[in-house]
A = this chain, B = another copy of it.
Amino acid sequence: MVRILSKENVSELLTMKDALKYVEEAYKQLTLGQALVPQRIAITDPAPGLTLVMPGIIGGEMNALATKIVSVYKQNPEKYQMPTVLAKIMVQDINTGDIVGIMDGSLITAMRTGAATGVSVKYLARKDSRVMGIYSAGIQARKQVVGTYWGLDQKLERCKVFDLKKETAIQFKTELEKELGIEIKIVNSGNDLLEDTDILVAATTSTTPLFDGNNVSEGTHISSIGAHAADVRELDTAIIKRASLRVAGLKEACLAEAGDYIIPIKEGIITEDDIISIGEIITGRSEGRKTNSDITVFKSVGISAQDVATAKLVYDRAIEQGIGKNIDF
């Protein structure tokens, strides 16, 4: 019996509060050596787009085993009136190997990425943080705000947003003011995000740094979830150098895919030893923020453990609440 869950089902079942807990647990189990994130498989040629196949397993109390198949086809909107990014997740019973759930994966991808930032906020931002600034007003960015809101235990009061597309920014404001009841302020330049801001989030498709790290206020926590290749980055060397803590969702993944850390390492500004996985802090193996003036940086590239944990959460809730369609095949 396979439980099929549509995007609407997932949306009904998945809250950011839960996603944050599950993604935190995934990071913890990775550090404890109870989770595996194999190198994902990328398929392109002879297809006109990219498919990533991302399996993962998490032990501990979660006992989750799943594979995400996500495709990125840039011609889809124009040629087929379909989204560029499509994803589905297959959840297996860890005891039998049987595929017991198949669900839409697009919302889960955005939510688990928001949850990653949320976990970083919980462990790295100042407890008195109330204001955030965010680069980009896109779909991913919206879930970043929700993740930050829950990472701060609902204490976020204001969010400043910068996006070149005015309309997208207005939609962002309308949606999030309604959803979270916080004040959203649209600003006119990226630099406007840096002043009087406790938490700075970068969620863009930029391949070059978004701001001068020398202009960031002391005490700021920064999370970057865009840019995931060795030669591109959202954060410049200055901010990486100034940071007291340089944290990764998963250190190995960032050392392979995050120019934000790879470039300063190549420049000799920091070494690999200066980077830790957030699981080190969650498990208490490493110390978190020490003072209110520390600058903390969190960089995450998507890893399957985030999807696996979030999909397991959705599957478990669906079974509890009797949501979705059962199909025997």
Q: Which residues of A contact B (CB under 8 A)?
A: 4-7, 9, 34, 36, 38-39, 41-43, 45-51, 53, 55-57, 59, 63, 65, 67, 69, 71-73, 76, 80, 82, 86, 88, 90, 92, 94-99, 102-104, 325, 327-329
Q: List 21 A-B contacts (CB under 8 A).
A: A6-B328, A36-B43, A36-B45, A38-B43, A39-B41, A41-B41, A46-B59, A49-B96, A50-B97, A51-B65, A51-B92, A51-B97, A53-B67, A71-B96, A71-B98, A82-B96, A82-B98, A86-B96, A86-B98, A90-B90, A102-B329
What's the Cα separation between A146 and B310 when bound, in Å? 44
Known: A4-B329, A51-B55, A90-B90. A71 touches B97 (CB 8 A): yes
Which residues of chain B are near A38, meaning CB under 8 Å? 41-43
B88–A90 CB distance below 8 A: yes
Known: A43-B57, A327-B327. A97 touches B49 (CB 8 A): yes
Q: Which 5 A-B pairs have the closest CB atoms?
A: A71-B97, A46-B59, A6-B329, A73-B97, A53-B55
What's the Cα separation between A4 and B5 when bound, in Å? 13
Which residues of chain B are near A67, meaning CB under 8 Å? 53, 67, 69
**Nearest chain-B residue to A85 (Cβ)?**
B97
B69–A96 CB distance below 8 A: no
**Nearest chain-B residue to A84 (Cβ)?**
B97
A53–B53 CB distance below 8 A: yes
Besides the known contacts A9-B329, A47-B95, 12 further A-B residue pairs in the complex with CB atoms under 8 A apart: A4-B4, A4-B329, A6-B329, A41-B53, A41-B55, A43-B57, A45-B59, A48-B94, A48-B95, A69-B99, A72-B97, A73-B96
What's the Cα separation between A63 and B46 when bound, in Å? 8
Which residues of chain B are near A36, meaning CB under 8 Å? 43, 45
**Nearest chain-B residue to A58 (Cβ)?**
B46
B94–A47 CB distance below 8 A: yes
Which residues of chain B are near A86, meaning CB under 8 Å? 96-99
Nearest-neighbour CB distance to chain B for A45, whole angstroms, equals 7
